Amino acid sequence: MQRNIEPVLVVGGGPVGLALAGDLGWRGMACLLIEQSDGSIYQPRMDLVGIRTMEFCRRWGLVGAVEASPYPRDYAQDNIYLTSMTGHELGRERFPGIGLAPPPTESPQRRERCPQNMFDPILRAFAQAQPTVRLRYRTRLVSFTQSADHVTATVENADTGEREEILAHTIVGCDGARSLVRETLGLAMRGNPVLTYTTNVIFRCPHLLSLHDKGKAYRHIFIGPEGTWSTIVAINGRDEWRFSIIGGAEQREYSKPEIEAAIRRAVGRDFDFEILSVLPWVRRELVAERYRNGRGFIAGDAAHVMSPTGGFGMNTGIGDAVDLSWKLTATLQGWGGDALLDSYSTERQPIGVRNVTEAAGNLRRMLSVDPHPDLLDDTPQGAATRDKVGREISETMRREWFTLGVHLGYRYEGSPICLSDGCAAPADNPRMYVPTARPGHRAPHAFLADGRSTLDLFGRGFTLLGFGADVAEAAPLLEAAKERKVPIGFTAIAEPLVAALYERRFVLVRPDGHVAWRGDRMPAEPLGVIDVVRGAAGSQAMAAGANARQFD
Ligand SMILES: Cc1cc2nc3c(=O)[nH]c(=O)nc-3n(C[C@H](O)[C@H](O)[C@H](O)COP(=O)(O)OP(=O)(O)OC[C@H]3O[C@@H](n4cnc5c(N)ncnc54)[C@H](O)[C@@H]3O)c2cc1C
């Protein structure tokens, strides 16, 4: 009997697995996602949905759902450095409520505060709404093997213990930091396995704001005579708070009375609260050397594990999912070349290293406060120390709070499926994003006369943009794409400001919204260009040739 082979088996229904399944479905691809739990969140971890992730949500039609999530949109997002909530305020970076801040000019979207217990259900509903996607909860991957033409996975029903085999063309491990898929594929992690042993506690206290005079803020960073020791964040903007004892490289377990005392120390007074959950975890700085082995891939925390300082973890993982999704689609639909899937690791692994490194740097900056035995002293010397510590930490921490460059400025430098046009890259600055249509970068946003963003033009296939050029002039590339069965559309853009931003008369944008090629005229060998961008060029030399020829 002929057995059914799933095109893609996604392991793990966290935000990255759900985004991958949803995006595959959005592209019309069939996939099966398995998740060992029932999908409920024991303790929400991520809560910052970054601006690039929101651009993907825009594409998927999810912006309304994120904006309608219960996190209060007028809740001030200040970050405060303080000795305790009732103690000395050392410094503050003010941010308005998420709904009160307009999007920056570089994007049609803004970052959002939408904790995991609110965001995962949005992604889950998105994935479930795709007719080609199936989600199976309470189903655990036990093991898998791969052969030349498929993967055989053994999965177990978490309720009955019953086991079955699933065959799939590809398997994608979105199964988190302790990924079984990664381990089975033999993909080694490199970096620092322990930055800190941290303990996170969610506690409920509806009247916390009335217990101190600091007003509404998202994050409180507590600094004692020993340095930075804990944080409290407004996890739902109402009655629940996440307290973190940052800890150090030594493993340490806290008893309930110790945790209660630590919360009271941070607040600075005795008060009533209810502990909802306690989660000890290890903060790491790790990235897999490669994201692929044969028919197996890894994405999200399975591929990179980073300190939450900066809020990059899930957002980096969703970037993985979008990069991998169109490449799997192209390959399974037959228009992707042999090298296309390899380019997933080539493009995304360096972004993993970049973001993991930035996140660890943020942690180091947060912990950079030296011990000051006189910090709490009610003396002129104590006041001078507080002033100095406040100024220094405020300055140091700005790098973590302003990260447009991290979220929008990543680029696939040297990618085998992008054709360099020889122009120099803008600096990769975590704070500053410099919009550019240089190949490898995210195609920049600009509003068109009809109110759409340029980003709204990109998605399921390639998009060839023509500035002062019509479809007849674009015919060679469009014909070449058609010959290779590569889905492509052409859009003429008349707005001079957008033309200036994109800098060339023709810009070819990939399904994930990154620029693959650009030039002022059609390439001499349009088939060569199409073969490079679909991952079918035999070698880098061919890529270089196709590129060089267009300057003939
Ligand atoms: C305190 C904290 C705050 C954070 N804040 C942010 C933030 O603001 N923004 C941000 O971007 N990131 C943040 N992060 C990081 C973010 O939470 C993670 O990067 C993100 O959850 C990773 O998503 P994932 O889908 O890759 O993995 P996970 O969320 O870990 O999901 C993996 C899933 O795979 C399932 N699974 C595992 N093994 C199997 C198996 N064998 N079979 C079937 N299913 C399996 C698990 O049950 C789980 O549901 C934070 C992290 C922490 C700790």
DSSP state for residue 454 in the 8-state scheme: G
336 lines ligand 1 (CB under 6 A): no
Q: What mean pLDDT, rounded, does the chain reach?
A: 96
> Per-residue pLDDT averaged across 391-415, rounded?
98
pLDDT digits (tens, 9 = 90+) for 129-150: 999 999 999 999 999 999 999 9
112 lines ligand 1 (CB under 6 A): no
Instruction: Give the H/E segment covering residue 200.
Output: strand 189-204
- Whole-Å CA distances, 524 to 197, 502, 552: 57, 21, 8
44 lines ligand 1 (CB under 6 A): no
The residue that leads in pLDDT, 545 or 74, is 74
The residue to mutate among 46, 51, 116, having the most atoms of ligand 1 within 8 angstroms of its beta carbon, is 46
pLDDT digits (tens, 9 = 90+) for 354-366: 999 999 999 999 9
CA–CA distance, 541 with 426 (Å, rounded to integer): 25
* Per-residue confidence band for 336, with pLDDT thresholds at 50, 70 and 90: very high
> Per-residue pLDDT averaged across 190-198, rounded?
98
The residue to mutate among 36, 141, 144, having the most atoms of ligand 1 within 8 angstroms of its beta carbon, is 36
Of the candidates 218, 244, 234, the one whose C-alpha atom is nearest the C-alpha of residue 76 is 218
How many CA atoms are closer than 13 Å to the CA of 325, on its beta-carbon side?
Answer: 30
DSSP state for residue 210 in the 8-state scheme: G
* Per-residue confidence band for 1, with pLDDT thresholds at 50, 70 and 90: low
**What pTM value is reported for the model?**
0.96
> Per-residue pLDDT averaged across 214-223, rounded?
98
Where are the alpha helices (H) located in 61-170, listed in sequence order? 63-67, 116-128
The residue to mutate among 20, 38, 42, 45, having the most atoms of ligand 1 within 8 angstroms of its beta carbon, is 45
CA–CA distance, 351 with 20 (Å, rounded to integer): 18
Residue 15 Cα: closest atom of ligand 1: 25
Distance 300 CA to ligand 1 centre (A): 8
* Per-residue confidence band for 542, with pLDDT thresholds at 50, 70 and 90: very low
> Per-residue pLDDT averaged across 219-241, rounded?
97
* Per-residue confidence band for 42, with pLDDT thresholds at 50, 70 and 90: confident
pLDDT digits (tens, 9 = 90+) for 159-178: 999 999 999 999 999 999 99
> Per-residue pLDDT averaged across 39-66, rounded?
96
The residue to mutate among 301, 356, 403, having the most atoms of ligand 1 within 8 angstroms of its beta carbon, is 301
pLDDT digits (tens, 9 = 90+) for 287-297: 999 999 999 99
CA–CA distance, 239 with 203 (Å, rounded to integer): 8
Distance 313 CA to ligand 1 centre (A): 8
pLDDT digits (tens, 9 = 90+) for 417-470: 999 999 999 999 999 999 999 999 999 999 999 999 999 999 999 999 999 999
In 3-state terms, what secondary structure has residue 248?
Answer: coil
Of the candidates 14, 62, 16, 544, the one whose C-alpha atom is nearest the C-alpha of residue 291 is 16
Of the candidates 478, 498, 499, the one whose C-alpha atom is nearest the C-alpha of residue 489 is 478
Looking at residue 43, its pLDDT comes to 87
Q: Do the beta carbons of residue 464 and residue 516 sit within 8 Å?
A: no
Residue nearest to atom 38 of ligand 1 (CA): 175
Distance 88 CA to ligand 1 centre (A): 35
Q: What percentage of residues in the chain have a pLDDT greater than 90?
A: 96
CA–CA distance, 293 with 3 (Å, rounded to integer): 24
* Per-residue confidence band for 540, with pLDDT thresholds at 50, 70 and 90: very low
Q: What percentage of residues in the chain have a pLDDT greater than 70?
A: 97
SS3 percent helix, strand, coil of the chain, rounded to 5, is 30, 25, 40
Full strand arrangement of the beta sheet holding 488-493: 488-493, 462-467, 506-509, 515-519
How many CA atoms are closer than 13 Å to the CA of 522, on its beta-carbon side?
Answer: 17
Which residues have a Cβ under 8 Å from the Cβ of 159 and sit 6 or more positions away? 138
Give the N- to C-terminal CA distance of the chain in Å, as an integer.
57
17 lines ligand 1 (CB under 6 A): yes
Identify how many contiguous H helices and E strands the chain contains and give both numbers. 14, 22
Looking at residue 543, its pLDDT comes to 45
352 lines ligand 1 (CB under 6 A): no
Distance 199 CA to ligand 1 centre (A): 16
Residue 180 Cα: closest atom of ligand 1: 41
Looking at residue 546, its pLDDT comes to 41
pLDDT digits (tens, 9 = 90+) for 95-116: 999 999 999 999 999 999 999 9
Distance 58 CA to ligand 1 centre (A): 22
Of the candidates 143, 177, 155, 122, the one whose C-alpha atom is nearest the C-alpha of residue 32 is 155
Of the candidates 367, 370, 362, the one whose C-alpha atom is nearest the C-alpha of residue 226 is 370
Could you please report the per-residue DSSP string of 157-198? Answer: ETTT--EEEEEEEEEEE---TT-HHHHHHT--EEEEEEEEEE
Distance 259 CA to ligand 1 centre (A): 24
Q: Do the beta carbons of residue 264 and residue 271 sit within 8 Å?
A: yes
Looking at residue 538, its pLDDT comes to 64
- Whole-Å CA distances, 245 to 143, 157, 368: 36, 36, 16
* Per-residue confidence band for 550, with pLDDT thresholds at 50, 70 and 90: very low
Q: Kindly tell me if the per-residue pLDDT of 547 is higher than 90.
A: no
Q: Kindly tell me if the per-residue pLDDT of 340 is higher than 50.
A: yes
Which residues have a Cβ under 8 Å from the Cβ of 192 and sit 6 or more positions away? 284, 285, 286, 360
